[in-house]
Homo-oligomer: A and B are copies of this chain.
Amino acid sequence: MSERTGFQLDFRSGEPIYEQIVDEIRRRITGGQLRPGDQLPTVRQMALELRVNFNTVARAYRILDEAGIISTQQGRGTYILEADDAQAMQRLRAVTLEDLAEDFVREAKRLGFSLAETEQMFCNLVNRLKKDSGSS
């Protein structure tokens, strides 16, 4: 008995599979069949049901995760988030980059680091990241 979701995919519709999965999950949350806290099937379980590669399911999950609708965690699984969380995420996006930078400097200062130390460490890190992205 692996018929757990009852998802119906249309392989001929032209709409990408991962998008159909995203839409269907959205519909089920809106309709109340899926509720906050519910665990979704693992990417491999759902892929097995839908006769699809699990990467395709993973792609759908990732999109929903970035939208703040579900939470995917490596080694744990994926869960429906509270609607509040999505709103909270929206509010968090309103946090400016300046706020983040100030938090960083403030926390460093609290731990006893001088501004010069903090600046140097940050610049070192940035230079390292620039190199890594360029060498790929």
Q: Which residues of A contact B (CB under 8 A)?
A: 11-12, 16, 27, 30-31, 65, 71, 73-74, 92-98, 100-105, 107-108, 110-113, 115, 117-119, 121-122, 125-126, 129-130, 133
Contact = CB atoms under 8 A, between A and B. Distances in A.
Contacts of A111: 27, 30-31, 92-93, 95-97, 100
- Top-5 shortest CB links A-B: A104-B104, A97-B121, A101-B125, A101-B122, A31-B111
Contacts of A122: 101, 104, 122
A100 B94 contact: no
B121 A98 contact: yes
Contacts of A98: 121, 125
28 contacts: A16-B74, A27-B111, A30-B112, A31-B111, A31-B112, A92-B111, A93-B113, A94-B121, A96-B111, A97-B108, A97-B111, A97-B117, A97-B118, A97-B121, A98-B121, A100-B104, A100-B108, A100-B111, A100-B121, A101-B104, A101-B118, A101-B125, A104-B104, A104-B122, A105-B125, A105-B126, A115-B126, A115-B129
Given A16-B74, A98-B121, 7 more contacts: A93-B112, A97-B117, A101-B118, A101-B121, A101-B122, A101-B125, A105-B125
Contacts of A73: 11
